[in-house]
A and B are shown apart, each in its own frame.
Chain A
Amino acid sequence: MSELLELSGARAADAVRAGEVSPAELFAAYRERARADELNAFLWVADGEPAEPRPDAPLAGVPLAVKDLFCVEGVPSMAASRILEGYRPPYTATAVRRLTAAGAPVLGKTNMDEFAMGSSNENSGFGPVRNPWDRERVPGGSSGGSAAAVAAGLAPWAIGTDTGGSIRQPASLCGIVGLKPTYGAVSRYGMIAFASSLDQCGPLTRDVTDAALLLRHMVGRDHCDSTSLDFPEPIELPTADRLDGVRFGVPPELTGEGVEPGVRQVFDAAVATVEELGGGIEEVELPHSPHGISAYYVLAPAEASSNLARYDGVRFGPREGDGDLLSIYEETRARGFGDEVKRRIMLGTYALSSGYYEAYYGRAQRVRTKIAEDFARAFERVDLILTPTSPTVAFRLGERTGDPLAMYLSDYCTVPMPLAGIPAISLPGGLSEGLPVGIQLAGPAFSENRILAAAYALEQAIGFEGRPFDDP
């Protein structure tokens, strides 16, 4: 069985189809590993047996780890927040429902930064997740539990969500693949809302093929999310190992200042690999991208301050305080939300307040336009943009908790893409000081097939070896 756990999701599905293992045996093996989790990656692990998948189900019963931000009917879904402790939703998120229907049963719910606000998973209401490469370090965030679970072999594959980098940055820090799709490619229905104009869900996987396979079964219009769209073409499983004729743009704004030398070294090696595979490299300018963090930390908290108004101890979650209605609201929110969530609610309400609205929110929305225009101009010349995913490798637990701004800057390279609504992937490029370094590839809206094809070719050439799985 231990050999089967080494397999990627797609290969595990092949093994099921070849009769080498039954879906029930595979689920039980992963359930045992997930239960023995020492990384605090899981907040809940399934106890029963899932229904046997249809024999022709494309995902063949290979179990899926699901970020706690997704509602799953009857299963604790808390966005890792004490304000939703014990909440078991009456319905299931569309993305989860589609993957389950395609044959991937829910293995468990993964830990995360509370309401997806964070870059280290230290903002969880249920304790931090540890990075399997070095347990004294963070796994990244906010989808830190999903990334750590996949990297440690506690799950074959997982889904997470990305608002400013929350899939790509933890994938980078844990040495796995993470894809943020085009805004609207995947339904947000049943995904607990953080910043609705930016949130997208996507796969976190051991390799690029798995990311393509999960994405194939997630995309599509959903009448429950009017911002979701029909994906214009089927998602292909990538096969080409060359990059002939593909033009890559390297923006100096996202590859220079602030990127630590070890990360830069791995990035430079990836650039050389692109050229060896026949790809073209040229410099492109994204002059407004350095303002991405500023715009993001106005827009995302502003949207969050509105989205999180619903947590008031009336309809779900615990109720605190026993006096009048106002004291119930105040006590419930004071005790239920963590510090980072409160910080962002304050920032957001301030940015939206009368007299400051145009100076903050209005200006940030205009910066957003400029960032999107920069990308559009770059994509007239190149097919894809290549950057490091994170300016640093995984940092130590506690290293940035006292300095929220330093924490926010972890997302420096990943924030511009969601502001422009475009897709991007992170794949492992190599190691620096024994820790994984992610390479990010971004493309125009709905260029997921192009991104996956290039990422696959790079992946084959780089030959990154994941961390060996310890016994649970």
Chain B
Amino acid sequence: MSSELSSILDHIEKIEELDLQDVPPTSHVVQVENVLREDDSRPSLPRERALEQAPDVADGGFRVPSPGT
């Protein structure tokens, strides 16, 4: 895995050849700003449906071992 990652990184590092001074970064390709919607209330997923696929459930929540130990 580590030699594969090295060859991928070698290829990726070709972008160091480019002069990118003063080029703004792109994080979103389509110009959209301040997308808002009406603050309407809608029913959300019922709790039991949301918990249905969980591997372990207790007291209406997802159960995991205590992270504090």
- Please report A residues at the B interface, Cβ cutoff 8 Å: 87-91, 182-184, 197, 223, 226-227, 229, 288, 291, 293-295, 297-298, 313-319, 323-326, 328, 339, 342-343, 346-347, 359-360, 362-370, 372, 403-405, 408, 419-421, 445
Contact = CB atoms under 8 A, between A and B. Distances in A.
A420 B29 contact: yes
Interface in B22-52: 23-30, 32, 35, 37, 45, 49-50, 52
B30 A369 contact: no
Contact of A372 (B11, B18, B20, B26): B26
Contact of A404 (B8, B24, B45): B8
Contacts of A420: 29
Interface of B: 1, 4-5, 7-9, 11-16, 18, 20, 23-30, 32, 35, 37, 45, 49-50, 52-56, 62, 64-67, 69
A343 B5 contact: yes
B11 to A, nearest CB: 6
B29 A197 contact: yes
Contacts of B9: 347
17 contacts: A197-B27, A227-B32, A294-B12, A298-B12, A325-B65, A325-B67, A328-B65, A343-B4, A359-B16, A360-B12, A362-B25, A366-B26, A367-B15, A369-B26, A370-B20, A403-B4, A420-B29
Contacts of A293: 11
Contact of A184 (B5, B8, B32, B62): B32
B24 to A, nearest CB: 6
Nearest to B23: A366
Given A366-B20, A368-B26, 5 more contacts: A294-B15, A297-B8, A297-B11, A368-B29, A405-B4
B30 A184 contact: yes
B66 A325 contact: yes
B49 to A, nearest CB: 5
A405 B8 contact: yes
Contacts of B50: 90
Contacts of A369: 23-26
Contacts of B52: 90
Contact of A363 (B7, B15, B27, B35): B15
Contacts of B65: 323-325, 328
B56 to A, nearest CB: 7
A326 B65 CA distance: 9
A35 B28 CA distance: 41
A77 to B, nearest CB: 10
